[in-house]
A and B are shown apart, each in its own frame.
Chain A
Amino acid sequence: MVALLRAVIRRDLLLAWRRRADIATVVLFFVIVVSLFPLGVGPEPNLLRTIAPGIIWVAALLACMLSLQQMFASDHSDGALDQMLLAAAPLGMIVIARAFAHWLISGLPLVILSPVLAIQFDLAPELSPVLTLSLLLGTPILTLTGAIGAALTLGLRGGGMLLALLVLPLYVPVLILGAGAVDAASAGLGADAHLLLLAAQLVVTATFAPWAIAAALRISAE
């Protein structure tokens, strides 16, 4: 089972490495969206400091969602997905490995970049780790939940917009808890409660989402 997980993760990472530009696109999108907000609301440092966690989180939400379209698309078109559905190994395990690989490619760069963006918004130094931690806990939930939507909209016309419509409402709790963690820390309440709830949601999502993704893939590939 471990060998299977390793093989799938290795394959996905290798594929991603061969198409490095795709990873760069997601990261650049994230940075550009975040950088647009000060231009829109004005360079007032106090205002920027207040809205920074929300902006970075919303941008992460959008970046994750955009990257999800590619999660199963190329495997679906070249037939590799059918092989995965036919494989003797449980589809849920393959899906977990794929989601993890996808998160390494598209979620982790956002987490790593977030302290830099926090500096752009002049976020207090002690809040920056909270933001990064909340993204570290939250982005895997985004990938797992979003993968259900990606599997359901596989090969549909207008799949991208449809995916946004399906997935974004489900992202609400992650956004609230993630941005709320930083807000709570800056208000002196401590971010523990938010981060623990986020972790709990990650555990629940990681337990149940693979089944839903697997079911959705089987429906879409019929």
Chain B
Amino acid sequence: MNQPVLLAGGINVFKYAAPQTFYPLAGKMIPWFGWIAAAFCAAGLYVGFFVAPTDHQQGESYRIIFIHVPAAWMSMFIYVVMAFWAGVGLIFNTRLSHMMVSALVPTGAMFTFVALWTGALWGKPTWGTWWAWDARMTSELILLFLYFGFMALQAGIDDARRADRAGAVLALVGVVNIPIIYFSVKWWNTLHQGASVSLTSAPTMATTMLTGMLLMALAAWMYTIAAALHRVRSIILEREHGATWINEYAETKA
């Protein structure tokens, strides 16, 4: 990119597509996103535990929703973001996009696991079972398998460039398949069990509950950005350990 084309507020955005310029920028951004995440999390938990009313059907146990729903949203959203960066990486052949994909995956898998785990904990007191082959739960489980598959593929390839590109193809194939999997699981489920407990028919939510949930969702977003930036910095260091800019950077910081 010799000629800067895209200018945002006088800053050449493409400049930050290079690992050596992105590395210090990410370092500056991590504390911001980290603290914002902590603030949103504290506010969300406060609203969730002290402000939001007790549910008249589920009692206090419903409060796990403030962790469960944001985690479930994030688990799906991160896969889409991953696929986006994978596509960018394949099309423009940018190293940083691929690194971003690898940095996002563990967080996505973590949120998927948290969503499943909290779902089981929530299901036991309300539905009376840890696990049901409900459409959402099943597709969330398969999403977890997709994350694990991605991580296993990247771990299995020694050559970083091949790992990046193979992972990108897998992420894109996965993102095309996720809606198909979701709908097939939904149809399968409706055929097998007629009357199951449905979240969609639950009574409409109190505003404070929704506020708490949205605050926690924002916290999850900010946490994801901070964690991904932190991880991408480690990946940059790992991949570029022979590059001169890293030594120079270490000297200026020292």
Contact = CB atoms under 8 A, between A and B. Distances in A.
Interface of A: 145, 148, 152-153, 156-159, 162, 165-166, 168-170, 172-173, 176-177, 180, 183-184, 187, 201, 208, 212, 215-216, 219-220, 222
Interface string B139-178: 0001001101100110011000110011001101110110
A156 B162 CA distance: 11
B149 A166 contact: yes
A161 B63 CA distance: 40
B169 A165 contact: no
Given A148-B170, A169-B149, A176-B187, 20 more contacts: A157-B156, A159-B156, A165-B145, A165-B149, A166-B149, A166-B152, A169-B142, A170-B173, A170-B174, A172-B181, A172-B185, A173-B177, A176-B184, A184-B191, A208-B176, A212-B172, A212-B173, A216-B169, A219-B165, A219-B169
Contact of B188 (A148, A162, A180): A180
Contacts of B173: 145, 148, 170, 212
29 contacts: A148-B170, A148-B173, A152-B166, A152-B170, A153-B153, A153-B156, A156-B157, A162-B156, A165-B148, A165-B149, A166-B152, A166-B170, A168-B145, A169-B181, A170-B173, A170-B181, A172-B181, A172-B184, A172-B185, A173-B180, A173-B183, A176-B184, A176-B187, A180-B191, A183-B191, A187-B191, A212-B173, A215-B169, A220-B162
Contacts of A165: 145, 148-149, 152-153
Question: What are the 5 tightest A-B residue pairs by CB atom distance, in nearest-first order?
Answer: A173-B184, A169-B145, A176-B188, A219-B165, A166-B149
